[in-house]
Structure 1
Amino acid sequence: MISILIRSIQLLLSISILIIIHELGHFIIAQAFKVRVERFFLFFDPWFSIFKKKIGHTVYGIGWLPLGGYVKISGMMIDDKTSKNESKDWEFRSKSAIKRFLIISGGILFNILLSIFIFTCLIFQYGETYLPTKNVKYGIEVDSLGKKMGLKNGDKILFVNGKYISYFNDIPKAIIFGNSVTVNRMGKIIKLSLNHQKKKFFFDRKKLSFFIQPRVPPIIHYVMKNSVAEKYGLRNNDEILGINSEFILFSDQLKELLSKYKNENILISINRNGRFLKKNIFISQRGILGIYLKNFMELDRIFSFEKKNYTFFQSIPNGINRTWNVLKHQIFFFKNIFHIETKAYKQIGSFFSMAKEFPSKWNWDIFWTFTATLSIWIAFLNLFPIPSLDGGYMLFIIIEMISKKKINEKIIERCTIFGFLIISLIMIFIVIWDILKVFFY
């Protein structure tokens, strides 16, 4: 229950920041062009609001429906009373097309800048840690998804799309974006194609995660309480060397052997700080010892990492680059939604899915990373030329700039209402789909 509350608070805070920054973009540029903003609201306020206060010409407030926010700009939506009068200097419709375009694009611009700023600050604070591909000396370990894509434990990745990838951190994304991967499999060079049929395995699962990691020796990171491992005296940092007469070099081999010896007594050989021990252990039908093994990030004595620290100004281009990479990943995902064979549509989700992405314990690093990712996602979605989205208004203004004629305001209003209804239906469908996934997917 507490974990659900923590996730919900993180999501609400993240969404609130994104809404405020987006609407602030419209607000600041409107004010710069001396256009009045009548209302500035976090969340929607049909029938009533939680809080509101008028300062100057603007009513600032918080609504009760957390599905977005809005600014009401004078002279943007025309009612019967307003349409009969000439436009005032402080109204949106009195401004030139380029000024109106900038006011509308302000939300998108501020979301992009927010994403760059957050990533820049994270890089400045934590630096960047890379694992050079050449240092992945034991090859890769793959999960069931990696195996379906044609990869095997121990493969050494040479090229993706015919290009050498300098850092292992970039290889999983390169494979998803790519069309082929070349591996060294026990001395044999093999080129694997990556078509839509194979990529569907990436999307056709409940949670997106990396499907490959560097192959590592089976060293215990943590022994769970009241587990089989604790009962028989296994400890943190023990290295498992073998089961019965079979030697073990890597974590994936340990997992395979444990599934092989279910419901049996086994003899486990371990290395404990240079002392070689053997323990008789009964493995239950589940084939679980109750241990967490160390991953490659926790084995810096085996892998040589590169750590880069930056000044704040050096972090800016890296923040821009990370924002661009996130955007490319989102565009790739969006394109694949329309390729039914990839089953990318299964990853579409509402606020419920978004909340699950936050950790059950508060982590500022993850919180800000996810907020920056959502910020560029909101900017991307708002570029779509759908009436009621920023992109829809921008399209009308572009048409006006090209034709040199103003579009009838009533037409814009009707299109906006229609666009709002369509988007509302899509949102309702996504929420229903998200709920159905719990039962059928």
Structure 2
Amino acid sequence: MTSILVRSIQLLLSISILIVIHELGHFTLAQIFKVRVEKFFLFFDPWFSLFKKKIGHTIYGIGWLPLGGYVKISGMMIDEKNVSSKETEKNWEFRSKSAIKRLLIISGGIISNILLSIFIFTCLLFKYGETYLPTKNVKYGIEVDSLGEKIGFKNGDKILFVNEKYIPYFNDIPKAILLGNSVTVDRMGKIIKLSLNNDKKRFLFDRKKISFFIKPRVPPIINHVIQNSEAEKYGLKNNDEILSINSESILFSDQLKDLLSKYNNENIAISINRNGKLIQKNVFIDSKGILGIYLKNFMDLDKIFSFEKMNYSFFESIPHGVTKSLEVLKNQIFFFKNVFHIETKAYKQIGSFFSMAKEFSSKWNWDIFWTLTATLSIWLAFLNLFPIPSLDGGYILFILIEMITRKKVHEEILERCTIFGFVIISLIMIFIIIWDIFKVFIS
């Protein structure tokens, strides 16, 4: 229950930051071009608001419905009696300004979200830098889970190329596979080319949780012995390297997992390497084949794998922050494109607030919080570019039409399209929420 509360608070804070920054973009440019903003609200306020205060010409407030926020700009929508009546236009109204100024005001939210994403990634890179594992240093090949096997990989495969290109860093290989059409691997000296068609990508999109379907293959070294487990009872310790079970040699973690699955309610003989000393233990395996240990992953084995750490000054972090935001945007465009390919089942990954909350850590983690906020910020900018009336992209489309035809779109048409767009978006949101509830509580 505590983890749900922590995730919910993080999500609410993240969304609040994104909304305020987005609306602040519209507000700031409106102020620059001397356009009045009548309302600036975090969250929607149908019927009543939790808080509001008028300062100057603007009412600032917090609504009770956390599905978004808004700024009400003077003269964006006018009363029917004033439609197309230029005599009634005030110089502080939105409709009195030139097309380019109106375009910038409407684009302010999108621009702000893009800048926020870049700023957050820049700060994270400045503080933590980046750690990469060069592909050439993955000397034992890869370990795969059941998903990786369905795609066609096998334990020990060494990835040579994705889409006929060498990927310098292993961190980038999973994403390259998702975006690619083929993978070339070295399988025990034999060069094999695996195709990545939509049927195979379906396995990636259809998974119930995000997991590493490939990772560097590692020796079976104990990272942590679980308290009160059989492993602790029989004297296994952290950093022990398991060499064999019942005289069957073990070189890698995946081999240990496969062997342990064969033994249930049995005593087994384990040979271990403890600081260069060979030790044998007789250990009982329970009915589930669980020994009671966690093994080290490749991130814990910097003595075996040579990582590259890159640190940046603040100004060096800026172009890398831009690159990071562009990478996130590219991934989102790829995902959106695949949503419409039914065979990939990418639509199953669509979610509402329930799905977003699950991405946050169950314990408060600022690194994860800011990374997800930066990701959601660029996602919000992308969605608002869609040329749908009531979204920023819809208004941008009408202004671009005006700039091309040199004629304003009739106010009545604009208003009707906006209402229609709002209804469509509301229905889509309701459908997504119902779909998400179905996934979380039923499937």
Amino acid of the structure 1 residue aligned with 2:287: Q
**In the TM superposition, what is the alpha-carbon distance from 1:291 to its structure 2 partner?**
1.7
Q: 1:435 aligns with which of 427, 434, 437?
A: 437
1:11 match: 11
Amino acid of the structure 1 residue aligned with 2:7: R
Q: How does 1:292-303 map to 2 (within 5 A)?
A: 292-303=294-305
* Residue 66 (str. 1) matches residue 76 (str. 2): no
**In the TM superposition, what is the alpha-carbon distance from 1:239 to its structure 2 partner?**
1.2
Per-residue CA shift, 1:14-52, capped at 9, x if unaligned?
Answer: 000000000000000010000000000111111111111
2:188 match: 186
Amino acid of the structure 2 residue aligned with 1:117: F
Query: CA-atom RMSD, angstroms?
Result: 1.1
**In the TM superposition, what is the alpha-carbon distance from 1:404 to its structure 2 partner?**
0.8
2:22 match: 22
Q: Unaligned 5+ residue runs, structure 2? A: none
**In the TM superposition, what is the alpha-carbon distance from 1:281 to its structure 2 partner?**
1.7
Q: Distance in 2 between matches of 1:268 and 1:138?
A: 23
Q: How does 1:395-406 map to 2 (within 5 A)?
A: 395-406=397-408
Q: Secondary structure at the match of 1:221?
A: strand
Q: How does 1:38-53 map to 2 (within 5 A)?
A: 38-53=38-53
Amino acid of the structure 2 residue aligned with 1:186: M
Q: Distance in 1 between matches of 2:279 and 2:31?
A: 74
TM-score normalised per structure 1: 0.98
**In the TM superposition, what is the alpha-carbon distance from 1:234 to its structure 2 partner?**
1.8
Q: How does 1:295-334 map to 2 (within 5 A)?
A: 295-334=297-336
Q: Secondary structure at the match of 2:290?
A: coil
1:172 match: 174
Q: 1:147 aligns with which of 146, 149, 160?
A: 149
**In the TM superposition, what is the alpha-carbon distance from 1:274 to its structure 2 partner?**
2.1
2:198 match: 196
Q: Distance in 2 between matches of 1:440 and 1:48?
A: 34
Per-residue CA shift, 1:336-358, capped at 9, x if unaligned?
Answer: 11111101011011101100100
Q: How does 1:263-278 map to 2 (within 5 A)?
A: 263-278=265-280
Q: Secondary structure at the match of 1:267?
A: strand
**In the TM superposition, what is the alpha-carbon distance from 1:198 to its structure 2 partner?**
0.4
**In the TM superposition, what is the alpha-carbon distance from 1:285 to its structure 2 partner?**
2.2
Q: Distance in 2 between matches of 1:92 and 1:81?
A: 17
Q: Distance in 2 between matches of 1:439 and 1:4?
A: 14
Q: Which is worse superposed, 336-345 or 431-440?
A: 431-440
Per-residue CA shift, 1:312-339, capped at 9, x if unaligned?
Answer: 1111110000111111111111111111
**In the TM superposition, what is the alpha-carbon distance from 1:136 to its structure 2 partner?**
0.5
Aligned pair count? 441
Q: 1:224 to 1:79 in 2, by over 3 A?
A: farther
Q: 1:134 aligns with which of 109, 127, 136?
A: 136
Q: Secondary structure at the match of 1:329?
A: helix
Q: Distance in 2 between matches of 1:94 and 1:153?
A: 66
Q: 1:92 aligns with which of 91, 94, 110?
A: 94
Per-residue CA shift, 1:68-106, capped at 9, x if unaligned?
Answer: 100000001222355466111000010111111110011
**In the TM superposition, what is the alpha-carbon distance from 1:439 to its structure 2 partner?**
4.4
2:293 match: 291
Q: 1:321 to 1:332 in 2, by over 3 A?
A: same
Amino acid of the structure 2 residue aligned with 1:189: I
Q: Unaligned 5+ residue runs, structure 1? A: none
Amino acid of the structure 1 residue aligned with 2:12: L
Q: Secondary structure at the match of 1:260?
A: coil
Amino acid of the structure 2 residue aligned with 1:293: L
Q: Secondary structure at the match of 1:288?
A: coil
Q: Distance in 1 between matches of 2:288 and 2:64?
A: 48
